[in-house]
Amino acid sequence: MAICTVATMHAVVHQRHPLHHVRPPRRRVRLIRATAGAAAKTSSWEADTLSKAFWDYNVLFRSQRAETSDPVQLRVIEGAIPPDFPAGTYYLAGPGMFSDDHGSTVHPLDGHGYLRSFRFSPDHGVRYSARYVETAAKAEEKRGASWRFTHRGPFSVLQGGQRVGNVKVMKNVANTSVLWWGGKLLCLWEGGTPYELDPRTLRTVGPFDLLGLADRAAGRRWSGRCRPWLQEAALDVATRLLRPVLSGVFSMPPKRLLAHYKVDPKRNRLLMVACNAEDMLLPRANFTFYEFDASFALVQKREFVLPAHLMIHDWAFTDSHYIVLGNRIKLDIPGSMLAMTGTHPMIAALALDPSKQTTPVYLLPRSTEAVASGRDWSVPVEAPAQMWSMHVGNAFEEDNGRGGTDIRLHMSGCSYQWFHFHRMFGYNWKNKKLDPSFMNAPKGKEWLPRLVQVAIELDKRGASQICSVRRLSDQWTKPADFPAINPSFANKRNRFIYAGAASGSRRLLPYFPFDTVVKVDVANGSTRWWSSEGRKFVGEPVFIPTRGGEDHGYVLLVEYAVSEDKCHLVVLDARKIGKRSALVVKLEVPKHLTFPMGFHGFWADE
């Protein structure tokens, strides 16, 4: 039986790369499934390979203390920047600080926001800058050159500092996504006010009270409040009791602004959505959708109350609807009691609810015509597959020629069995380590993140007639996430989807981190892909359009060369993905500025 303890892996890793925070857990972790008749003793080759896998995984989430406000010229190490590449800036948000100087290591989702920018200009090539977002939590947790975590964050617990009774949970780290809109550069987090930064220097300007701005403008703009007719009085009472506790004790804002936003290119609008703080604990979900014009003036605000306990990360929109795919959750009473003590993460108060074998799809009226249709939007369309929705690439609607409407969603989803609140990225809150075996344990193909199409047919009264879920391509059954499209095709029929994916060629890290960009032709299901070579991994792809057809443009991504401890900015020709000539240019970030894996990015055209 080929097994290896993480302690063995760490012993080799620590000799080669003495990182203070890469300490393995004491428990044994099986990175290779045992096979009948295999030798019980791990060979030296296997031990060395396993140690590299452990190192490769953990180095992707290594803290980076260095910043550079003065732009650094990036060196081209392969190819050349194409002459038709547009001038603009690629901003990438993500966590940068995971381990403090007092023994605490937090979950990647609780890591302090670290914003990177790659500025393309015709005369100067590509210049790189990186700075931490100066949030209120960072101001408290970093004094001089020393870091000491005082906020545990929703997904973590602290090993150093105050643990028992620590109510500092809502640690707005502004690390999830970045947006350039209305002349403002904003970093967003899944539960707090966005932070504004200077687009040139990345200096933090301060919190940007977007929801306050919207609420003040709502009096002179149209606002619609849509609710089911029946509301349980007990939930209203619970809401009144919970709000002062959540806001006064745990400093949670009354409304949580989701980190995922949408841009409607047809109307030149920014769409955002917020949830109420108490939604996490009650079987009722409040969604407030905001639409802003190019100057951040509020154009529309609509509020919906759904009789379901849901957790939402991403969402979609069409001309007539806001679309919410409901991830069903429930309150974990024993876990919530432990979470209140500070010895368990706050996320322990919640558990997944896989009791139904369908996925609820809520079609919430965006247009006045959809409101007037009289359809009971509080009743979801039940998609015939249980799926935890992750990220949406595109959604659109079309007249089906029979008086009704066809709605299509292109998105990524995984199974409830694969998704795990406490173990995302392999983080183990009990020993504060990242375990690559969790994300790479052998699982069924339908468990892993996959690209799917959800198709809904509505009749002329808006009632659902047919709903189906299928893979976007039967040719690609490997894990994939972070779907992206040509942004000019948002909210209308698109042919191509690009996504981060796993090639499956790495024996010990077959599923995650990703090492491939896959291009799916939605029209015929064909796939082409580009994969990194050696011990290298890739982040989220972003499409940069040029003049021409839907796939005329470039795919931009960051490659993490863990074997070299370096990051590369990679540009692929979208039309040549699948060919040897797909890679157009690769640029190298200086080694001392190598940064941890990012979450979501944004291309800002100049």
Q: Provide the annotated binding site for Fe cation.
A: 313, 391, 600
Q: Which of 155, 130, 152 is nearest to 65 (CA)?
A: 130
Task: Compute how many other C-beta atoms are within 10 angstroms of the C-beta atom of residue 457.
Answer: 17
| Rounded Cα–Cα distance for residues 154 and 111 (Å) | 11
410, 483 Cβ separation under 8 angstroms: yes
Residue 393: what residue type?
G
Residue 27: what residue type?
R
Q: What pairing do the DSSP bridges indicate for beta strands 223-226 and 298-306?
A: parallel
* DSSP-based three-state secondary structure for 214: helix
| Rounded Cα–Cα distance for residues 437 and 259 (Å) | 28
Tokens of 505: 């060629």
Q: Helices H, strands E: what count in the chain?
A: 8, 41
Q: To the nearest 10°, the Cα dihedral for 277, 109, 597, 23?
A: 180
| Rounded Cα–Cα distance for residues 207 and 134 (Å) | 10
119: Cα within 13 Å, side-chain hemisphere: 18
**DSSP letters for 470-522:** EES-TT--S-EEEEE--GGGTTS--SEEEEEE--S--SSSSSSS--EEEEEET
Task: Compute how many other C-beta atoms are within 10 angstroms of the C-beta atom of residue 592.
Answer: 10
Quote the Cα angle for 273-274-276, to 5°. Answer: 155
Task: Compute how many other C-beta atoms are within 10 angstroms of the C-beta atom of residue 315.
Answer: 23
- Residue numbers in the known binding site are 313, 391, 600
* C-alpha gyration radius of the chain: 24
How far is CA 105 from each of CA 111, 346, 366, 430, 431, rounded to the nearest angstrom?
Answer: 9, 16, 42, 11, 9
